[in-house]
Amino acid sequence: MATILIVDDDSALREGLAETVTDLGHHPLPAASGAEALARLREAPVAAVLLDLRMPGDLDGMATLARICALPGRPPVTVLTAFASPANTIEAMRLGAHDHLTKPVGRSDLAAVLDSMLSIAQPDPADAAVAGGHAGLIGSSAGMRRVQKTIGLVADTDSTVLIQGETGTGKEEVARALHAYSARRGRPFVPVNCAAIPAELLESELFGHVRGAFTGAVGDRAGAFHQAEGGTLFLDEIGDMPPPMQAKILRVIQDRMVTPLGGRSARVDVRLVAATHRDLPVLVDQGRFRADLYYRLNVVPILLPPLRERLADIVPLAEHFLAPSGKRLSAGAASRLLAYGWPGNVRELRNVVERAAVLVRCGVIAADAIDLPTGRPAPSPEGVGLPADWLAGDLPGAVARLERTMIAVALREADGNRARAARRLGIQRQLLYAKIERYGLGAPGADLSEDATVDVGNSDASDEPRRG
């Protein structure tokens, strides 16, 4: 049995977490504030901490996290919040959080994060400096939250990062976030598009040249490596870099020495971030990309999912792009955006939304103002087999269809046992009963049953207000 410190100013949520922690075989230790949590840590050893992000007073969740992470031999901390954002996700991971979960937290997710925290060795105290914010990386989908957590974990290191993803997914935004949350944020961020610069000019662009190095070199010029001194150099579309230049980049990564054309070698201090929309392992197999360079770049890989796999991010992104215009989406317009496949990803979404904002004079953008190509239906998630009209109508209707389907599947997989189905769904049995009645899933012959399992300490975001 491990002692789990639960820090939340909401007594109901604190007690619900405590019940689930007890049911999982551990001892809960409640605290109603950051100050009380720090006092508890001084009084007795704690194996892990569940920490609410939003708490009143000067010592909110982030400040409490920083204090805990500065303690010698501190326990692992998972931050819980109903208001997850890219900024607080990245900052929590950067300060030293073990994980960052969105409320309501299901029983299975809570069990998994506790097992993970209890199985790891005690980490070193984390740097508690507060980073500046970054406006990009809008999205709360599972894929984007993985990206945000990785940024938080590696931002303060000098490890080389390789960002991979389709064209238009926002690879440069990830690179800028890595820089913005790093200790190098006060130094330059220098982007170079390797595909947009002719091969004969790329060496000078990256390494610089001295006067007289070639015809037309009328003066010394610092290359991108020297321009990014102390900061971050972002090599975009590195998969399009010519083979001769690949060998030179490999040498710079190994030696951290840069030789301008016609000049002398000099040491550079830069953090290297690379990105590509190409499949580098395939290019390596084809002999079009150096294997040794690929392994040097792929120290920390970050895979950006395409927009079609991030349905939860489409409307928030669209609203973010609309914000400067003061206009908003109608329910029909939001549904139309969700039903499209977005082959151009976030870049295409931005263009579509900005076009609508310019052409629509009123404050609300209707569905017919969303100008999308025809003949490109949104692909269904692999193996799900959704009907063609799944995303038709308004957003609440689509959410209701998804909820009904998930409940029906959970009941079927639990052989009609509602208690087991509730645990699978991560909601209380009483709430499940209400939804079964609402959706007509308890009709005669449904063979629904119960068992004596303890309720999950969790609430449903669609039926109860969430705090934290």
Task: Report residue 390's pLDDT band, with 50, 70 and 90 as the boundaries.
Answer: low
Higher-confidence position of 133 and 27: 27
Span 443-448, mean pLDDT?
Answer: 51
Span 443-456, mean pLDDT?
Answer: 48
Tell me how far apart the alpha carbons of residues 89 and 133 are, in angstroms, rounded to a whole number.
11
Higher-confidence position of 409 and 165: 165
Let me know: does 169 contact 306? Beta carbons within 8 Å: yes
pLDDT more than 70, % of the chain: 84
Alpha-carbon torsion angle 87, 297, 271, 276, nearest 10:
-60
Tell me how far apart the alpha carbons of residues 247 and 255 are, in angstroms, rounded to a whole number.
12
Q: Which has the minimum average pLDDT: 58-72, 253-267, 364-378?
A: 364-378
Q: Which residues contact 273 (CB under 8 A, 6 or more apart)?
A: 160, 161, 163, 175, 178, 179, 232, 233, 234, 235
Domains and CATH numbers, the chain: 3-130 (3.40.50.2300), 143-303 (3.40.50.300), 307-369 (1.10.8.60), 397-468 (1.10.10)
Q: Mean pLDDT, the chain, as a whole number?
A: 83
Residue 240 has pLDDT above 50, yes or no: yes
Task: Report residue 130's pLDDT band, with 50, 70 and 90 as the boundaries.
Answer: very low
Let me know: does 257 contact 267? Beta carbons within 8 Å: yes
Model's pTM, two decimal places?
0.63
Q: Apex CA 262: angle with CA 259 and CA 265, to 5°?
A: 25
Span 442-448, mean pLDDT?
Answer: 53
Span 414-425, mean pLDDT?
Answer: 81
- Could you report the per-residue pLDDT of 403-419, keeping only the tens digit for each? 888 888 888 877 788 88
State which of 198-212, 354-368, 454-468 shows the largest mean pLDDT.
354-368
Let me know: does 468 contact 14? Beta carbons within 8 Å: no
- Could you report the per-residue pLDDT of 116-125, keeping only the tens digit for each? 898 774 433 3
pLDDT attached to residue 106: 87
Q: Which has the minimum average pLDDT: 256-270, 297-311, 409-423?
A: 409-423
Residue 112 has pLDDT above 60, yes or no: yes
Tell me how far apart the alpha carbons of residues 280 and 238 are, in angstroms, rounded to a whole number.
9
Residue 465 has pLDDT above 70, yes or no: no
pLDDT attached to residue 462: 42
Six-digit token pair at 380? 């269904």
Higher-confidence position of 444 and 336: 336
Listed as own residue / partner, the contacts of 367-376 with beta carbons closer than 8 Å and 24 or more positions apart are 367/330, 367/332, 367/333, 367/335, 367/336, 369/333, 370/333, 370/336, 370/337, 372/336, 372/340, 376/340, 376/341, 376/343
pLDDT attached to residue 381: 44
pLDDT attached to residue 384: 42
- Could you report the per-residue pLDDT of 278-296, keeping only the tens digit for each? 999 999 999 999 999 999 9
Span 104-116, mean pLDDT?
Answer: 88
Let me know: does 33 contact 57? Beta carbons within 8 Å: yes
Task: Report residue 393's pLDDT band, with 50, 70 and 90 as the boundaries.
Answer: low
Q: Nearest CA to 46 among 21, 19, 16?
A: 21
Residue 395 has pLDDT above 70, yes or no: no
Q: Give the position of tokens 């980490």.
A: 123
Q: Give the position of tokens 């975009």.
A: 236
Span 207-221, mean pLDDT?
Answer: 75
pLDDT attached to residue 134: 47
- Could you report the per-residue pLDDT of 307-360, keeping only the tens digit for each? 998 888 899 899 989 988 988 898 889 888 998 999 999 999 999 999 999 998
- Could you report the per-residue pLDDT of 223-239, keeping only the tens digit for each? 899 999 999 999 999 99
Task: Report residue 466's pLDDT band, with 50, 70 and 90 as the boundaries.
Answer: very low
